[in-house]
Amino acid sequence: MAFQASILLCLLVLLPRVDMSSTPNRGVRLELTHADDRGGYAGAERVRRAADRTHRRVNGLLGSVDEPSTGKLRSDGAAANVHASTATYLVDVAIGTPPLPLTAVLDTGSDLVWTQCDAPCRTCFPQPSPLYVPGRSATYANVSCRSPMCQALQSPWSRCSAPDPSCPYYFSYGDGTSTDGVLATETFTLGSDTTVRGVAFGCGTENLGGTDNSSGLVGMGRGPLSLVSQLGVTRFSYCFTPFNATAASPLFLGSSARLSSSAKTTPFAPNPSGARRRSSYYYLSLEGITVGDTMLPIDPSVFQLTPMGNGGLIIDSGTTFTALEERAFVALARAVAARVRLPLASGAHLGLSLCFAAAAPEAVDVPRLVLHFDGADMELPRESYVVEDPSAGVLCLGMVSARGMSVLGSMQQQNMHVLYDLRRGLLSFEPAKCGDL
C-alpha cells in the first residue's frame, strides 16, 4: 500500500500542472444532465433502463479486477480493462481553440478524459455533436511515449512502444464500449468563462459501442489523469436532483464546493493494494444497515475490502440503484418485507426484485432506512429508496443485489449535497434541495 501510494505521489508531482484561467477564488460550477432526460424517457421505462444500466455498470466495475490476459490486446501489446462506461450523468464542456462544444459522461469511477477524434476517425459511434478534429485546433499537442503523462496512463502490462514517439492507449469497458487512440493535451473550457490549458486526454480514433448521447467521458477518479487531479482542485461536490426530475444537477469544482457546518463526514477507505485497476475508486467503510429501529444481522466481513480488491463499497456517479453484496441484500429484503406486510408482486417490468402489490403505492407506510458509515449515518428519505409504479399497482425497493462488491448509487444520493475533500480524504454530505443550489 505504501509503495503504491508513493508511486502515485511521484506521478502527481511529475505531471505538468494545467493552467486554469477564471475568476480568482470563485471555483467552477457546471450543470449535469441525466442521460435519460435527453432521450425523453420517463415512468416505468426510465426505471427499467436505470436497473439495466445498474447491473451492467456493477458487472463492469467487478470486471476491473480481471487479470490483463483477459483484456483485448492491441497490435502493440497494450491492454486495459476498466469498468462499464454506461452513462448516468452527462456534462457539457468544450475542447480546443476555437472551442468545440461536446457532451461527455461524468464518471467518478475512472480517470481518463477522452473524446472521439476525427484524426481521421477509423471507427466512431454516433454522437450528438460534430467530431473533434485535432487539425482544426491551435492548441492540440501529442503526448510523447516517455512523458510523465504517458507513464501515468500506462501500467506494467500496458506500455507504449519505445520507437513510437506518441503515447497510444486502448481502454475497453464492461458494457462493450471501447476507445483506442493516442494521449494528447488540449485546452478545455468549463462553464462559460473557465479555460484550462494543457489537459491530458485520450483522442480516440477507433471507438466501439456508445456512451448514451455523448462524445466521450470525463474521469473524476482518484488517479493522476482524472480531471480533478489535473486541475489540482482539493475538493469537488455535486447534488443530484430527484431521479424522476428533469432539472439539471449542479457540479462544483474547487472553492465553490462547500457544505454547512452540520454536514456529516466519513473518511475514504484506502484503495486495495493488490488491484491496480481499482485505484480510481472512492471507497467508503459501510459498517451496517438499520431498517426501522433494528440493525440488520449482517456479518461485518460482508462489506470488508480485501487487499486484492474483493468486497468493499464504493460511491459512484454512474450506478443508479445502490447494489448491495448478496448476503446484505437478502437481509435487507427480508427486513423490509416483514415490515411492509403486503403481497409480493413481480417487478420484472422495472428490473427490480423486491416489489409489493399496492393499489395506492404512495400511501404505503415503509420503514426507515439508515446506512451506517464510519463516523456518519446516512438516513435515506422515502423517495431515495422506494420506487412506485401506480399504473401497475406496485411499490419496489430501489436497490439491487450484487456479488463481489457493493456500490452506493446516485438514486440514494438524490437531494443530497455530496462533497469529496481530496486533500483530507473525506466524504461529506447533507440533505439539500439540489434544484435550488
Say if strands 194-208 and 89-95 run parallel, antiparallel, or are unpaired.
unpaired
| 3-state percent breakdown (helix, strand, coil) of the chain, nearest 5 | 20, 35, 45
34: left (phi > 0), else alpha (psi -120 to 50), else beta? beta
Q: Say what the pLDDT of residue 400 is.
A: 97
Catalytic residue annotation: 107, 316
Say if strands 322-325 and 399-402 run parallel, antiparallel, or are unpaired.
parallel
Give 344-368 pLDDT, tens digit per residue.
999 999 999 999 999 999 999 999 9
Q: Which residue numbers in the chain have pLDDT < 50?
A: 1-14, 22-24, 65-85, 156-158
pTM: 0.89
**Domains in the chain, ordered, with CATH?**
64-232 (2.40.70.10), 259-436 (2.40.70.10)
What end-to-end distance do the CA atoms of the chain give, in Å? Answer: 38
Q: Say what the pLDDT of residue 102 is.
A: 94
Provide the 10 A C-beta neighbour count for residue 341. 9
Q: Residue 12: enclosing H or E segment and its boundaries?
A: helix 2-14
Q: Which amino acid, 231?
A: L
Give 223-281 pLDDT, tens digit per residue.
999 999 999 999 999 999 999 888 999 999 999 999 999 999 999 999 887 666 678 89
Query: How far is 168 from 176, CA to CA, in rounded Å?
Result: 20
Q: Say what the pLDDT of residue 16 is.
A: 54
